[in-house]
Amino acid sequence: MVLLAGWSPLLAQDWNAPTTRVLVDRAVANRSALRADRLLQRYRSRARGTVLFLAEVIGTSAANPRLLRADRLDVEVYWQAPRRSKQIIRAWSQQASFPTDMRYHRDHLGIVTDAFGDAIRLGDGDEVRGVVHPLSVQGPSWYDYRLTDSVTLRGVGRETTVHIVEVRPRDPGAPGVAGTLYLDGVRADLVRFRFGFTAASYLQSNLERITVDLESALLDQRVWVPFRQEVEVRRRTGWLDFPLQTVIRTHWDIDDYDFDPSFSDAIFANSPYGGLSEPRDSWTMVDDSAVRKLTTGPIRWEQEALLGELRQLGVDGFLVPQPPLRLAFGGVGDLVRVNRVQGLALGFGVSLRPAAAPLQVRPWVRYGFADQRLNGGVSLVVASGSALLTFEASRRSEDSAEWPVISPLLNSFLASLAGQDFGDYVLLERARLMGSIGEGSGTVTLEVGWERSTDLATRAAPFSGSHRPNPPLAVGDLIVARVGVRHVSGEPLTDGWSINLTSEFGGGARDYARFTGEATGGVPLGTGHLGFLLRGGTSGGDLPPHRTFSIGGRGTLVGEPFRAFGGTHMAWSRVSWQIPISVAPFGDDALLRDPWVLGPFLSAGWTTGNPGVPGRDSRGGIRPVVGMAADLLFQTLRIEVGFAPRSGTLGVVLDAHPAWWPIL
């Protein structure tokens, strides 16, 4: 095996430069030739893989994938020249953390041999079929190539130069791939291939994108053979613009090569896949390192890096092949919600994507039956690579809080049935221009615009009890500018951290400056993780009431009265020890297991300055809370019990897990 030693400077060339085409032609000829002196005639190896089925809420700063199912496989691989292969599943264990009857395509449970051959096929031909390989005989007439750099690989007694060649289809509207070829400088063998597909390649309308990374190793100084492989398949609802995706993510390590095996040609009879057809046993995936790497660790960031590389190639067609017209809403609460100022409010939205334009238009409306007021708006989004430019004009009734404290669906139930509404509302009419750049580990956002705030009165009547009055929060017209920075290092929930900083400046009816920050992080501790969450804000000038800070009760200090404390300055923190426990709901040997997370927590909050809202108190210093939290029912339900020593009260909060709030 050889290892990465260093980069060799190389002047990047233009597309299809003569020297690049010579290198590519050598690779095509070497790949297609059936030479009598072929270095490798047959081999046998073992592939050990992890296949995950995930659900991910997209478009949020906390978009961590939720693990629904994990499979581990041990596969025996047989290969014979020119391109015959057989893969036999010898061992297959599974653990499901959410009820699902999803079945994988057979080739998602095995490795890719010969880097797909001349035509790329995935999902047993249901997802992608017949896509021309860049190093097939047809490749040079189908693709553009550009030599960008070289890297030196150094092993025992040998140095190998590998040339890095970018590839893209000549017609972005045709089926094809875009990515990077790594070619051995000696024989132009394919060492590594990282790529994604154009939109026209996908055979199913619900495919968002597929990305592939195939890596080879030079064994025994003889030949490049499969070494490590990763495939990610993302799906979304074809007719609905909804911020939820399912993801299949696979990782394979291939080793134990035998280049002089003894096996009969009969082994290649029938299907190229054999062995077990279903999992035979279960395994506990709680705190499993392979699962964590695939879910939120370095392999996830490798996928983000690959996506960035594909965007730089300028082949936008491989991204999100969406229909021109879809229903659109950010969550269930956008369709139907109940609060004390609007009563029952019904909404509707669509997403429009004009043909051949990087533009998305999203109009929406919502009508409140209690206040008989129409909310609505339209946003125009222009995307270019990792940059987004958005213009929005809207009129909406919204909670004035900086951070959400309850899922919208639960708030609607409590407001309609018991008169418990956990929001303080203001009507905001806006016209603003927003821009963002970056993805993965870092994002910068800019915003400038006009907004007008108007007070809202309590109008709705619940089935039982009564609503508290909605506080006066409006100030009139403002010109507002905001700058935000987000950075992520590692996995914030388990072994890393993230930070969000926002600066806001306003002028007009009030002149003010406002600064907020949020930091999250986690470190391993025992069988679980020690997690922390810090939030704070400060301001200067004449801060509008709807931009003041508040803490207390649900979402911050469980056990204290809801939003009883507020001011122009605020700090709140929470430290928790999260301990995973795997529970089998249908017996100890069931493949389906409910991954509970239990643990104590300590939180504390402080506010000072003018509360800005009647009924809030900025005095009293630091208010601590000690408690216990539990994530149950496949981590969809969270229960928190907190005791506030200062007030001597106990609070209990039941809600959906915060990861699901954006779609509720």
Give the 3-state DSSP-derived string for 541-591, with helices as H, strands as E and coil as C.
Answer: ECCCHHHCEEECECCCEECECCCCEEECEEEEEEEEEEEEEEECCCCCCCC
Q: Are the beta carbons of 45 and 69 closer than 8 angstroms?
A: no
Q: What token pair was written down for 177? A: 């791939």
Q: What token pair was written down for 231? A: 């495939």
Q: What token pair was written down for 312? A: 């730089």
Predicted confidence at residue 567, as pLDDT, reads 93
Q: Are the beta carbons of 86 and 267 closer than 8 angstroms?
A: yes
Per residue in 177-218, pLDDT (tens digit) is 999 999 988 888 899 999 989 888 999 888 888 999 999 988
Strand partners, 383: 388
Strand partners, 506: 480, 512
**488-503 burial, b if ≥16 CB within 10 A, otherwise e?**
bebbbbbbbbbbbebe
Place of tokens 């430069």: 17
What own/partner pairs with CB < 8 Å and gap ≥ 24 does 440-444 have?
A: 440/301, 440/304, 440/305, 440/307, 440/308, 440/488, 441/301, 441/304, 441/487, 441/488, 441/489, 442/485, 442/486, 442/487, 442/488, 443/484, 443/485, 443/486, 444/483, 444/484, 444/485, 444/486
Preceding omega of 172 cis (within 30 degrees of 0): no
Q: Are the beta carbons of 428 and 477 closer than 8 angstroms?
A: no
Q: Are the beta carbons of 247 and 54 closer than 8 angstroms?
A: yes
Predicted confidence at residue 587, as pLDDT, reads 53
Q: Are the beta carbons of 452 and 429 closer than 8 angstroms?
A: yes
Predicted confidence at residue 557, as pLDDT, reads 96
The Cα 543–Cα 481 span in angstroms is: 14
610 three-class SS: coil
Of 109, 122, 132, 139, which Cα lies nearest the Cα of 203?
A: 122
Q: Are the beta carbons of 412 and 656 closer than 8 angstroms?
A: no
Q: Are the beta carbons of 85 and 113 closer than 8 angstroms?
A: yes
DSSP string, 142-198: HEEEEEEEEEEEEETTEEEEEEEEEEEESSTTSS-EEEEEEEETTT--EEEEEEEE-
24 three-class SS: helix
DSSP character at residue 123: G
The Cα 259–Cα 454 span in angstroms is: 76
Q: What token pair was written down for 572? A: 């709140």
Predicted confidence at residue 155, as pLDDT, reads 60
Q: Are the beta carbons of 111 and 87 closer than 8 angstroms?
A: yes
The Cα 67–Cα 441 span in angstroms is: 21
Mark the ranges of the chain whose per-residue pLDDT is less than 70: 1-12, 33-39, 59-64, 153-158, 220-222, 282-305, 307-308, 311, 313-322, 355-357, 439-440, 490-494, 584-591
29 CB neighbour count, 10 Å cutoff: 12
The Cα 536–Cα 557 span in angstroms is: 14
Predicted confidence at residue 383, as pLDDT, reads 81
Length of the chain: 664
- Spatial CB neighbours of 348, under 8 Å, sequence gap ≥ 6: 329, 335, 364, 365, 366
- Spatial CB neighbours of 379, under 8 Å, sequence gap ≥ 6: 361, 362, 390, 391, 392, 393, 394
Of 457, 454, 488, 459, which Cα lies nearest the Cα of 474?
A: 454
Place of tokens 């009507």: 427
CATH of domain 519-664: 2.40.160.50
For the chain, state the CA radius of gyration.
Answer: 28
Place of tokens 């691989």: 77
The Cα 77–Cα 90 span in angstroms is: 10
- Is the torsion defined by CA of 333, 433, 384, 309 positive or negative? negative
Q: What token pair was written down for 461? A: 């009547």
CA dihedral 180, 184, 187, 188 (to 10 degrees): 10
The Cα 185–Cα 27 span in angstroms is: 10
**103-139 burial, b if ≥16 CB within 10 A, otherwise e?**
ebebbbbbbbbbbbebebbbbeeebbeebbbbbbeeb
**317-340 burial, b if ≥16 CB within 10 A, otherwise e?**
bbbebbeeebebbbbebbeebbbb
61 three-class SS: coil
